[in-house]
């Protein structure tokens, strides 16, 4: 007999003994009438106690017996409890089935899934793919610190960031470093995190192929274009005046193509790098160069203003920063009608960083286009861009350059009023400015 039943029987016998003692005392006190009264009361009490016990035993039994049929308070109570207990058991079975189905689905996912305890950062559960991609073994790696177990992966800082952890786009698998992983941390409850690792080796290989293809094609196009350019330059429109419009168009288009190839090569160059050579970029001469370029580009059609309020310099690549800023300035001039204003403001940011903002009073950009502006070849109005010689690669280059400086581009625009393109640099990019630096950085390029 299980211990809890033995205890229940012991209690029942104790209660019966107490009742019996009580009845005997009553009988002795009151004589024959007392005996009759005591025996009846004892019988009634014992019967009720027995029914109560039966119901209690039924509730705690592993296999619930059928409830007693018929009326009466005890039978009705028994039937009621039986019904609610049956419903509860059915619900529990259903929940278990759902839970098992979820587990089976998570176990069969091609991505590695690890449930991590948020407080202890220990593994709670992981699926089959976690074995293949992360090298986790069952049961060895259950309830172990995840950072320790996945040691080659740089997880300590990442886990510490918790909810704000950015996905790790390209991390080597602890099993085989040729397998590249994309890791994401999903805090799905107060207590648990989901660590999801996806094999992106194929995707990265394809991306590499795409980058190589674009770089190679652009490179190969350069030579024939130079030849075409050369011959076009040799042709004098005055020799055959009726060819003048055709020659001019051919020159314009070949120049456009050369710029496209140069931009594609610049993008490929930026994409293939994880970092840039760094130097302190003196901002005063850089701003002066931007002003000169803007004035040359505008040809007096716009009011150009430069405000240098930051009083600091930036750490980064002078050549690439100049290329990015001059892209923004050239856009501001191109997409602002004559008579408009273009302002270049260099200021300190609230977080101790610095912002270079290019503001214009031009056409503006409808809000729906803003999220896609930095995509390659994306143009809001292709006719207006084509008119102004745009290829749609400028902002893509800006985004890459800023990315290599851990900076971000914020775009605000109102149609008909103008746009602001602001490059935000973190405090780690800010350097104190030394007076007397007036010569422009050697690596600066000519304006686009």
Ligand X SMILES: Nc1ncnc2c1ncn2[C@@H]1O[C@H](COP(=O)(O)OP(=O)(O)OP(=O)(O)O)[C@@H](O)[C@H]1O
On whether the CB atoms of residues 298 and 335 are closer than 8 A, the answer is: no
Q: Which stretch binds ligand X (CB under 6 A): 92-100, 232-240, 266-274, 360-368?
A: 360-368
Beta bridge partners of 325: none
125 binds, among ligand X, Mg ion, none (CB under 5 to 8 A by kind): none
On whether the CB atoms of residues 402 and 423 are closer than 8 A, the answer is: yes
For the chain, the first-to-last Cα distance in angstroms comes to 93
**Is residue 268 near ligand X by the rule CB under 6 A?**
no
**Is residue 298 near ligand X by the rule CB under 6 A?**
no
**Is residue 331 near Mg ion by the rule CB under 5 A?**
yes
How big is the site for ligand X, counted in residues (CB under 6 A)? 23
Q: Which stretch binds ligand X (CB under 6 A): 166-174, 241-249, 387-395, 438-446?
A: 387-395
Residue 233: CB minimum distance to Mg ion, A: 26
**Crossing angle between the packed helical segments 394-404 and 318-334, to the nearest 10 degrees:** 150
Residue at shortest CB range from ligand X: 394
Q: Which stretch binds Mg ion (CB under 5 A): 145-153, 233-241, 266-274, 391-399?
A: 391-399
419 binds, among Mg ion, ligand X, none (CB under 5 to 8 A by kind): ligand X
The alpha carbon dihedral of 442, 446, 447, 448 has a sign of: negative
401 binds, among Mg ion, ligand X, none (CB under 5 to 8 A by kind): none
Task: List own/partner pairs for 433-439 with CB under 8 A and 24 or more apart.
Answer: 433/282, 433/283, 433/284, 433/311, 433/312, 433/313, 437/282, 437/284, 437/285, 437/313, 438/284, 438/285, 439/285
Q: Based on CB atoms, which residue is closest to ligand X, 35 or 378?
A: 378
* Contacts with 207 (C-beta within 8 Å, 6 or more apart), sequence order: none
Q: Which of 394, 396, 413, 425 binds Mg ion (CB under 5 A)?
A: 394
**Is residue 420 near ligand X by the rule CB under 6 A?**
no
344 binds, among ligand X, Mg ion, none (CB under 5 to 8 A by kind): none
Beta bridge partners of 122: 145
The values of phi and psi at residue 149, to 5°, are -70, -35
Q: Based on CB atoms, which residue is closest to ligand X, 317 or 419?
A: 419
Q: Nearest-CA neighbor of 396 among 376, 423, 414?
A: 376
Q: Which stretch binds ligand X (CB under 6 A): 79-87, 192-200, 282-290, 371-379?
A: 371-379
Q: Which residues bind ligand X (CB under 6 A)?
A: 263, 327, 331-332, 335, 360, 362-363, 365, 373, 378-381, 385, 390-396, 419
Q: Residue numbers of the site for Mg ion (CB under 5 A)?
A: 331, 394
């Amino acid at each position: 007999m299980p211990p809890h039943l033995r205890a229940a029987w012991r209690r029942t016998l104790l209660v019966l003994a107490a009742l019996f003692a009580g009845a005997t005392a009553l009988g002795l006190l009151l004589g024959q009438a007392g005996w009759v009264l005591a025996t009846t009361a004892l019988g009634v009490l014992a019967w009720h106690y027995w029914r109560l016990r039966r119901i209690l035993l039924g509730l705690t039994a592993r296999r619930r017996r059928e409830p007693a049929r018929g009326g009466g308070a005890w039978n009705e109570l028994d039937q009621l409890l039986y019904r609610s207990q049956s419903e509860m058991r059915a619900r529990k079975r259903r929940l278990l089935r759902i839970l098992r189905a979820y587990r089976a689905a998570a176990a069969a996912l091609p991505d590695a899934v690890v449930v991590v305890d948020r407080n202890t950062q220990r593994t709670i559960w992981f699926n089959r793919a976690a074995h293949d991609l992360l090298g986790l073994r069952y049961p060895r790696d259950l309830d172990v610190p995840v950072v320790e177990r996945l040691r080659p992966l740089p997880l300590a800082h990442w886990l510490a960031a918790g909810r704000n952890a950015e996905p790790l786009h390209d991390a080597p698998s602890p099993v085989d470093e040729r397998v590249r992983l994309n890791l994401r941390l999903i805090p799905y409850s107060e207590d648990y995190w989901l660590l999801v690792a996806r094999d992106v080796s194929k995707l990265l290989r394809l991306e590499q192929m795409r980058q190589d293809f674009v770089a190679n094609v652009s490179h190969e196009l350069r030579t024939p274009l130079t030849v075409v350019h050369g011959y076009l330059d040799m042709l004098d429109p005055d020799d055959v005046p009726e060819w003048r419009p055709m020659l001019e168009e051919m020159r314009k288009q070949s120049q456009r193509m050369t710029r496209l190839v140069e931009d594609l090569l610049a993008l490929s160059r930026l994409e293939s790098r994880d970092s840039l050579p760094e130097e302190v970029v003196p901002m005063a001469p850089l701003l002066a160069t931007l002003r000169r370029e803007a004035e040359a580009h505008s040809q007096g059609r716009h009011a150009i203003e430069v405000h240098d309020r930051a009083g600091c310099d930036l750490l980064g690549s002078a050549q690439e920063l100049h290329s990015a800023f001059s892209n923004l300035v050239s856009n501001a001039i191109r997409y602002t009608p004559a008579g408009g204003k273009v302002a270049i403001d260099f200021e300190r940011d609230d977080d101790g960083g610095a912002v270079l903002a290019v503001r214009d009073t031009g056409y503006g950009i409808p809000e729906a286009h803003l999220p896609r502006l930095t995509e390659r070849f994306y143009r809001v109005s292709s006719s207006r861009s084509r008119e102004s010689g745009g290829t749609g690669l400028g902002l893509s280059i800006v985004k890459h350059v800023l990315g290599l400086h851990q900076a971000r581009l914020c775009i605000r625009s109102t149609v008909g009023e103008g746009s602001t393109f602001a490059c935000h640099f973190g405090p780690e990019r800010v350097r104190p400015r030394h007076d007397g630096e007036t010569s422009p950085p050697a690596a600066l390029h000519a304006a686009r």
